[in-house]
Amino acid sequence: MIPAKKFYMIRHGETEANVKRVMAGSLDSPLTENGRNQAKAIQKIVANLEVKPSAIFHSHLSRARDTAHIINEALNLPIHENELLAEFHAGDWEGVPYEKCQSLLTGWDDPPNGETSDEFCARIRKAKHEILDAHDDPVMIVSHGGVFRGLGKIYGLNVPGKFPNCHLHEFDPHHQHERFPWKVYRYNHAPEEFKTETDIYHASEDWIEENILRA
């Protein structure tokens, strides 16, 4: 499995596809001005991290690449592109409204003429394994909502696709969890709740239904 080491992961900033509420998948949908501002806001958060990342890895899609480079203005770290971190290739469902591909957003139906869920999970497992195995210090991965979900699926968890743009998550090794070997924290802009633990990878189905699917 993936080495249980500490790392950070963040979804890219808001994109034109997000605003239109259409599936981007492997399409190269650029950041909006708001998305670029979201990435700039993360600079303040990473500057206050107790343990800072030692390198940044991002997918080749411009929304992740541009988000990563904006964040890195505050860190000046080695930065690397890795195509294996790209979003799910949704085939015929790319460019269609969210309402027409809900079975992919909340489940793992294989899209016609696209990547299968098994292929996708194998790809991101390989990427994360290679990255984490090569680094003892924490790294930051800038990628996509599907990559967050796929990480859960690798461990047998059906995590719904509700990961807001540009919210930094910390994955802290926690071997007491039998299914998913990390505690997960989300960093917020409000000083009074700068770092909060999230149950997204450890929640019951009832918690997910109440807090994620209905959100």
Q: Report the mean per-residue pLDDT for the chain.
A: 90
* Block residue for tokens 């990961």: 163
Q: Is residue 1 part of a domain?
A: no
Query: pLDDT tens across 36-48, in order?
Result: 999 999 999 999 8
Q: How many domains does the chain have?
A: 1
Q: What is the mean pLDDT of residues 28-33?
A: 97
Report CA-CA distances (Å) from 177 to 2, 8, 17.
15, 19, 36
Task: Give the active site residue among 12, 58, 144, 169.
Answer: 12
Q: For position 52, which CATH number holds?
A: 3.40.50.1240
Residue 142: φ, ψ to 5°: -110, 115
pLDDT tens by residue, 161-212: 678 999 999 999 987 766 789 999 999 877 667 899 988 887 545 444 444 4
For residue 214, pLDDT beyond 50 = no
Residue 166 covered by a domain: yes
Please report whether residue 118 resides in a domain. yes
Set 14, 58, 87, 169: catalytic member: 87
* 87 included as an active-site residue: yes
In-domain check, residue 82: yes
pTM beyond cutoff 0.75? yes
Q: Is 211 exposed, middle or buried (0-12, 13-18, 19+ CB in 10 A)?
A: middle
Residue 163: which domain range?
7-213
Q: Is the sign of the CA dihedral 98, 94, 61, 123 positive or negative?
A: positive
**Secondary structure of residue 171 in the 3-state scheme:** strand
What dihedral angle (degrees, nearest 10) is formed by the CA atoms of 183, 187, 192, 196? -20
Let me know if residue 69 belongs to a domain: yes
Is the pLDDT reported for residue 135 higher than 80? yes
**Cα–Cα distance measured from residue 141 to residue 11, given in angstroms and rounded to the nearest whole number:** 9
In a domain, 2, yes or no: no
- C-beta neighbour count of 167 within 10 angstroms: 17
192 is catalytic: no
